Amino acid sequence: MTQALVLDEQKLNEFIGKAVGDFGTTLSTALVVIGDQLGLYRALAARPLTSAELSEDTQTAERYVREWLVNQAAGGYLEYDPLSGRYSLPPEHAIALTQEDSPAYVVGGYQVVSSLVLAFPRILQAFRDGSGMLWGEHDENLFEGTERFFKPGYLANLVDSWLPALDGIDAKLRQGGTVADVGCGLGASTIIMAQAYPNSRFVGYDNHAPSIEAAREAAARAGVAERVAFEVASAADYPAAGRYDLIAFFDCLHDMGDPSGAMRHALEALAPDGAVMIVEPMAGDRIEDNLNPVGRVFSGASTLVCTPNAVASGGEALGTLAPEAAIADVVRGAGFSSFRRATDTPFNRIFEAKR
């Protein structure tokens, strides 16, 4: 006889509750992006509002705003006063939802997630046949959202912490050096460095042409276009003449089809006393080290965008949660004699490679 399965009813109910919470989180992702793009959060940051007042202030349809407000209050993003019928945005939440230069700004992450959900049919097929999906084939919100997601961390850490943690690079760039930003996307990291080091010159490389066009426009707006160039090129074919004092890979090595080839090319392009900076998402060395909220986010992104891009590029990705030893193997296998973790944050590991 087969023994009857005994269920833990409390554990079952707790899981159902978790699932319902995830339903709400998933549905609310698009609503956060809508709130950002329509200025709903900015209006609520100014003063508490009813649905009618918010609709009037933002020139939006009240019937939709009414439902949006309930969703946001139910999720704890807004606070509701039943006496006045007004909703308010706590100042701490306003920082995270409206201040793009704050290290706490999170809206870019919602924009990324909303774009990746649209890739579901392609990724489902990839699970079945092992195919891939190039970065540039995703919804365009991925490109802007990625910049908005990573830029606050770059603003908070890149100049004050990460570059000074590299051996001699901060002083070299202050005096006047040359920098290659490989996989630069929309150019945020390149422009931040250029603004901090006015005596140095910078080139951003990316294989996604629309991102390069946007980066050029951003450099012009930032007033650094004379010292910053953006060119369409991959990590394996940008000019390599042994001339760069710093070559940077910001959150991109892990999703390249040939990370070893990218590092070999970087070694060719590096000045004799230069350094390569590799910024990678925070991850543990063991699977159990990544069973946490950060690991959940990064493994989800790896499944939906990073690994498919590498597969479509003809390789096998390191993956967003690549352990440090795997990155070290790639770097040393490319010919670098020195590799170390220079510093880190709760969300990033910053590695230095030298000849």
List the pLDDT tens digit at each of the 355 positions of the chain: 566 788 899 999 999 999 999 999 999 999 999 999 999 999 999 999 999 999 999 999 999 999 999 999 999 999 999 999 999 999 999 999 999 989 999 999 999 999 999 999 999 999 999 999 999 999 999 999 999 999 999 999 999 999 999 999 999 999 999 999 999 999 999 999 999 999 999 999 999 999 999 999 999 999 999 999 999 999 999 998 779 999 999 999 999 999 999 999 999 999 999 999 999 999 999 999 999 999 999 999 999 999 999 999 998 789 999 999 999 999 999 999 999 999 999 999 999 999 9
Strand partners, 349: 280, 344
- Quick one: tokens of 31? 């609503």
DSSP codes joined into one string, 50-113 = -HHHHHHHHT--HHHHHHHHHHHHHTTSSEEETTTTEEE--HHHHHHHH-TTSTT--HHHHHHH
Domain with CATH 3.40.50.150 in the chain: 157-354
For 196, counting Cβ atoms within 10 Å of its Cβ (0-12 exposed, 13-18 middle, 19+ buried), the class is: middle
Largest pairwise CA distance in the chain? 80
In terms of CATH architecture, what is 157-354? 3-Layer(aba) Sandwich (3.40)
Q: What pLDDT score was predicted for residue 6?
A: 84
Residue with tokens 């499944």: 303
Residue 179: which H helix or E strand, with range?
Answer: strand 178-182
Domain with CATH 1.10.10.10 in the chain: 9-98
Torsion angle defined by CA atoms of residues 268, 269, 270 and 271, in that order, rounded to the nearest 10 degrees: 100
**Topology annotation, domain 9-98:** Arc Repressor Mutant, subunit A (1.10.10)
Q: What pLDDT score was predicted for residue 353?
A: 98
Q: What pLDDT score was predicted for residue 240?
A: 87
Q: What pLDDT score was predicted for residue 316?
A: 79
